[in-house]
């Protein structure tokens, strides 16, 4: 992997906050009314264990979305966000902006599509 500064670097803080927002939306959507409110600063505290406790309650679709979001946030923290899972090429910034949790480049996505 290249160590040089990438174009995407300056966008990472914004990507990260957008992903966190998406994550909070899913949590809120799946929240049962009796549960504690996870809005605001408390969210950061519960995030680590939340997925384990919540995963059974999430709808299948939200669960998949949640896993993708978590993976993307993890990648941002590991500085591997925007790198294709398959070929390790950089994913174009515009593609990421269109789909924040995108984990592979156009070519690999097309190849995966064909394998289905």
Tokens of 8: 């995407």
Q: How far is the CB of 98 from Zn ion (least distance, A)?
A: 16
Buried b (16+ CB within 10 A) or exposed e, 41-74: eebeeebeebbeebeeebeeebbebbebbbebbe
Which residues, numbered 83-102, are part of the site for Zn ion (CB under 5 A)?
84, 86-87
H-type alpha helices, 1-116: 12-30, 42-54, 60-78, 93-98, 106-115
Which among 17, 75, 63 is positioned nearest to 84, based on CA atoms? 75
Look up residue 9 and give its DSSP letter.
G
Q: What minimum distance in Å lies between the beta carbon of 18 and Zn ion?
A: 23
Report, in Å, the least distance between residue 14 CB and Zn ion.
23
Residues 41-80: x where in contact with Zn ion by CB under 5 A, - otherwise, as a string: ----------------------------------------
Residue of 12, 76, 100, 108 interacting with Zn ion (CB under 5 A): 108
Count the site residues for Zn ion by CB under 5 A: 6
| Minimum distance from residue 57 beta carbon to Zn ion (Å) | 34
What are the residues binding Zn ion (CB under 5 A)?
84, 86-87, 104-105, 108
């Amino acid at each position: 992997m290249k160590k040089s500064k990438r174009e995407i670097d300056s966008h990472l803080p914004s990507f990260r906050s957008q992903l966190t927002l998406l994550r909070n939306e899913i949590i809120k959507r799946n929240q049962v009314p009796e549960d504690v409110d996870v809005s605001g600063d408390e969210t950061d505290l519960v995030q680590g264990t939340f997925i384990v406790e919540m995963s059974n309650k999430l709808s299948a679709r939200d669960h998949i979305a949640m896993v993708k979001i978590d993976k993307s946030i993890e990648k941002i923290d590991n500085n591997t966000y925007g790198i294709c899972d398959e070929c390790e090429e950089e994913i174009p910034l515009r593609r990421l902006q269109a789909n924040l949790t995108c984990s592979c480049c156009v070519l690999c996505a097309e190849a995966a599509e064909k394998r289905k």
